[in-house]
Structure 1
């Protein structure tokens, strides 16, 4: 019986290492559009939280103010984002994702889903059920991480 108790404990080291491996696999998946990790991170952030101020993006993406300004300038030039004045404060600029930028994120997600579906075919029904059962807890973990 003592073994079952140990099986119910979460080994955070094992968890982190598995997620690092999965993250590496997902990031390296072939892609239609090859963009830098930081570019994709900014687009992904904006796809969920658009619009955002440059200062918010800087804090969220953990890059310098000048770095985020240069990146947003490139993304704007490429038609992936646009800057607009904040309706509540004309001195502040908000960054909005464009339809083209959202399409980049959507197409990459679709591609990932297709690739992951192939991997999942190799799992046992028990493995699939275990992953499905873990999704609500993983979603909550992501929310806690996003809140910090």
Structure 2
């Protein structure tokens, strides 16, 4: 899918949104490993890794799932040794969840496998295509980061 400048500005955001949506779907579909963590489990671990221990309620809100669903996910991740739970120091009734060293190692391995797969895929491009993709990616990534920063806590 290619995006061409539109004479009608309201269509430009729709065209870009369609490209970003296709990019997200293709990325998840092509880089996911069968039998790997669910997307919710992976993003929960990544969030804990980046932001430190969190309350279950925060994790549930962050992942847009119910608190009982997040409790089940955390229990499964805890059984797998990827997270641990502890009583919140500020509120003894609450639980804080943190990623374990095993969870961090799993995240690092997932990143390594994704980058390895991407490197293989990039190897199928001609040198000119790779240069063009490198140029476009260098411009695209900062814009995408800026766009998504506004939605980081939603």
TM-score between the two structures when normalised by the length of structure 2 = 0.79
Partner residue in 2 for 1:130 = 136
- Going from structure 1 to structure 2, the CA distance change for 1:19 and 1:65 (only over 3 Å counts) comes to same
Partner residue in 2 for 1:39 = 41
Candidates 81, 84, 88, aligned match of 2:83: 81
Tell me how far 1:107 sits from its aligned partner.
Answer: 1.3
Partner residue in 2 for 1:96 = 98
Residue-pair matches, total? 143
Partner residue in 2 for 1:67 = 69
Candidates 88, 98, 111, aligned match of 1:109: 111
Partner residue in 2 for 1:144 = 150
Aligned residues: CA RMSD:
2.4
Mapped contact 1:80–1:98 kept (Cα < 8 A): yes
1:14-40 CA-to-partner distances (Å, cap 9, x unmatched) read 222222222223223253851222212
**CA distance in structure 1 between the aligned counterparts of 2:113 and 2:19, rounded to whole angstroms:** 21
TM-score between the two structures when normalised by the length of structure 1 = 0.82
Mapped contact 1:26–1:112 kept (Cα < 8 A): no
- Going from structure 1 to structure 2, the CA distance change for 1:44 and 1:50 (only over 3 Å counts) comes to same
Tell me how far 1:124 sits from its aligned partner.
Answer: 4.2
- Going from structure 1 to structure 2, the CA distance change for 1:16 and 1:119 (only over 3 Å counts) comes to farther
Structure 2, unpaired ranges of 5+: none
**Aligned-partner SS, 1:146:** coil
**Aligned-partner SS, 2:81:** coil
Partner residue in 2 for 1:22 = 23
User: Please, which moves more after superposition, 67-76 or 101-110?
Assistant: 101-110
- Going from structure 1 to structure 2, the CA distance change for 1:132 and 1:63 (only over 3 Å counts) comes to same
Structure 1, unpaired ranges of 5+: none
Tell me how far 1:72 sits from its aligned partner.
Answer: 0.6
